[in-house]
Amino acid sequence: MSVPASGETGSAMASRSALFRERQRATPKLIGLRLLQIPAVLCVVSIIVFALIEVVPGDPGRNALGQYATAEQVAQWNASHNLDGALIERYIAWTGGLLTGDWGISLVYDERVLDLVFGRLSNSMMLGLYAFLMLVPIAIGLGVAQARREGSRSDRALTIVLMSLAAVPEFVIGVLLLIVFGLALPILPINSGDALGQGLPAQLRAMTLPAITIALGSLAVFARMTRNAVIETTGSQFYRTAVVKGVDGSALLRRHVARNSMIPVVSLLGIYLGAMLCGSAVVETLFSYPGLGALLVTATQQKDIFVLTAGVMITAVISMLALLATDVVFTMIDPRVRFSGGS
């Protein structure tokens, strides 16, 4: 009986090694395929963005020069910024400027749009990453705790709390935090923009409240998905088979529960990560945080078309790269993923 068991073990190890080598060879192909798809998606996004900007009321030249500028001055300004030609000509000039780095000058801030957008993007990415690092361990911990106590009072109580939290809009959470920490418990700054440039500890302290607001807005979704995924995994046939075979507790948790439970969670994490890194207009406006989201709000209000179009395109790029990272992670954790026939 020992020889067949040994043979089966060796066969399983050889199969895993072959699969690992296959993934090593195929992952660069997957990345290359996704990188080829990104420009096509961005092309469609650029057409949609340009079309939407065209129907926004208001004259860019008039917005830039003010109400006292003459019609000739407005027309000359529009012509100098390639805003007076045919629609297709303006689209080609606009996309050419995006590709070459000539994104124009902001109508509101009188700065180069390239520098302005990337400066605000770096602030939003710091805030989004901080919120993401808060969210993931707490959500996974709550989900696992609920799954281990499925049907208990604590499970039902956490479900009620999390569902209630999910029903509260993000701006309401932010306003409540502003009231609590601005009046009753002033231990954290409510104006997050003041600490930028004063060192990492001061910046993290200033970003704590907006990061908590962003994380709480997504906590219920991730915790609930983690709970359901763990319950589904522990109730599956392969899990029961591993338990009957006497698989070690740590190996059982690592190879069977954690790896399989994280498959649906990772897909959602990739989407939310891209959104968090691009900034939250509501949260950044509430806490006076100079991020990309707040910048796009101002650009929309003031019809600053150069900032608005560049910001939307950068957001699309970040989102696509986050989805690419999610695809790569899938190839590492999902044993059902196969690379054959270009799939």
Residue showing tokens 């690092």: 133
Helix, strand, or coil here: 287?
Answer: coil
Name the percent of the chain lying above pLDDT 70: 83
Short-list 180, 188, 212, CA closest to 280: 212
DSSP output for 207-270 = HHHHHHHHHHHHHHHHHHHHHHHHHHHHTSHHHHHHHHTT--HHHIIIIIIIHHHHHHHHHHHH
189 Rama class: left (phi>0) / alpha (psi -120 to 50) / beta = beta
Q: How far apart are CA 304 and CA 104, in angstroms?
A: 11
Q: How far apart are CA 157 and CA 151, in angstroms?
A: 10
**Per-residue DSSP letter, 180:** I
105-126 pLDDT, tens digit per residue, is 887 788 898 999 999 999 999 9
Predicted local confidence at residue 129, as pLDDT: 92
The burial class, CB within 10 Å (0-12 / 13-18 / 19+), for 28 is: exposed
Instruction: List the chain residues with pLDDT less than 70.
Output: 1-27, 195, 238-239, 246-256, 259, 333-343
Predicted local confidence at residue 255, as pLDDT: 64
Predicted local confidence at residue 138, as pLDDT: 92
Answering whether pTM is above 0.85, one says: no
**Per-residue DSSP letter, 70:** -
Angle at CA 240, nearest 5°, toward 239 and 241?
A: 90
Q: How far apart are CA 211 and CA 95, in angstroms?
A: 34
Helix, strand, or coil here: 152?
Answer: coil
Tokens of residue 39, six digits? 């420009």
